Amino acid sequence: MKFFIDTANLKEIQEAHDLGVLDGVTTNPSLMAKEGISGHDNVMAHYKAICDIVDGDISAEVIAVDYEGIIREGEALAELHNNIVVKVPMIKDGVKAIKYFSDKGIRTNCTLIFSAGQALLAAKAGASYVSPFVGRLDDVGTDGLQLIQQIVQIYDNYGFQTEVLAASVRHVMHLLQCAEIGADVVTCPLNVITSLLNHPLTDSGLAKFLADHKKVNI
Ligand code: G3P
């Protein structure tokens, strides 16, 4: 399973990268706004800076919601760097644009996926990734992980190459259950990745090892 970090914060991206387990980055307009990144040139420079840190797929989202606009923005983003994956919302013009990009060899991540039908449509259009939002479904009382399971099953049935990128992954249990189900990728904040390090028995066990070592090495 690939680990992507879901942020536009360069420090956090660098920290996850330095841990040695990072496979890619996902961003979205909210995450870019959170970092105060605005204006075309600054946005493009920020994506370049992310690409300079991580040698893996970097999802960069279009703002346009009309076909021509999505194509224009997506082509400009794809030109920035080979690792850019154009993130396109699950709307009618988005699906048409995904088909266009796929025919041109431009990789895409279809975002805001909340149903298996949407995931099936995105795969048929040739999306490289689909991003079902686990946490946001949980927020409204629908089992987000069940959707991941359903999409993995459907893609397996027909051998779709589209990768299931579980997004809106909020905690360790989400991540582990995605791994059990067989999601190709999870994207989550840095603290979810670093939480995987923690176990109290590791801490107490290490403290005892060091104390025992000290007893005979002073
Ligand atoms: O990748 C999508 C993600 O950014 C949404 O996460 O926690 O805002 O639902 P969240």
Residue-wise pLDDT for 151-160, tens only, equals 999 999 999 9
Q: How far apart are CA 11 and CA 77, in angstroms?
A: 22
Q: What is the pLDDT of residues 7-37, one digit of tens each?
A: 999 999 999 999 999 999 999 999 999 999 9
For tokens 């993995």, name the residue. 152
CATH of the domain at 194: 3.20.20.70
Mean pLDDT of 102-116: 98
pLDDT surpasses 90 at 218: no
To test the ligand 1 pocket, which listed residue (28, 88, 186) has its Cβ within 8 A of the most ligand atoms? 28
Residues 2 and 24: beta-carbon distance below 8 Å: yes
Residues 188 and 5: beta-carbon distance below 8 Å: yes
pLDDT surpasses 90 at 42: yes
83-108: buried (b, 16+ CB within 10 Å) or exposed (e) per residue?
bbbbbbbbbebbbebbbbbbeeebbb
pLDDT surpasses 90 at 87: yes
To test the ligand 1 pocket, which listed residue (4, 58, 136, 169) has its Cβ within 8 A of the most ligand atoms? 136
Residue 6: pLDDT band (50, 70, 90) is: very high
Residue 194: pLDDT band (50, 70, 90) is: very high
Q: What is the pLDDT of residues 118-132, one digit of tens each?
A: 999 999 999 999 999
132-161: buried (b, 16+ CB within 10 Å) or exposed (e) per residue?
bbbeebeeeeeebbebbbbbbebbeeeebe
Domain count, the chain: 1
Look over the chain and give the mean of its residue pLDDT values, rounded to a whole number.
98
Looking at the chain, the whole-number percentage of residues with pLDDT higher than 90 is 100
Does the annotation count 87 as an active-site position?
Answer: yes
Mean pLDDT of 72-96: 98
Domain containing 11 equals 2-216
pTM, two decimal places:
0.96
Mean pLDDT of 60-70: 98
Residues 108 and 127: beta-carbon distance below 8 Å: yes
Name every residue whose Cβ is closer than 8 Å to that of residue 74 and which is 6 or more positions away in sequence. 62, 86, 88, 97, 101, 106, 108
Mean pLDDT of 167-188: 98
Q: How far apart are CA 49 and CA 3, in angstroms?
A: 19
- From the CA of 170, give the closest atom in ligand 1: 7
Q: What's residue 15's pLDDT? A: 97
Taking alpha carbons only, the member of 57, 68, 25, 60 closest to residue 43 is 60
Greatest CA separation for the chain? 73
Is 25 exposed, middle or buried, given 0-12, 13-18 or 19+ CB atoms closer than 10 A? buried
Distance 145 CA to ligand 1 centre (A): 14
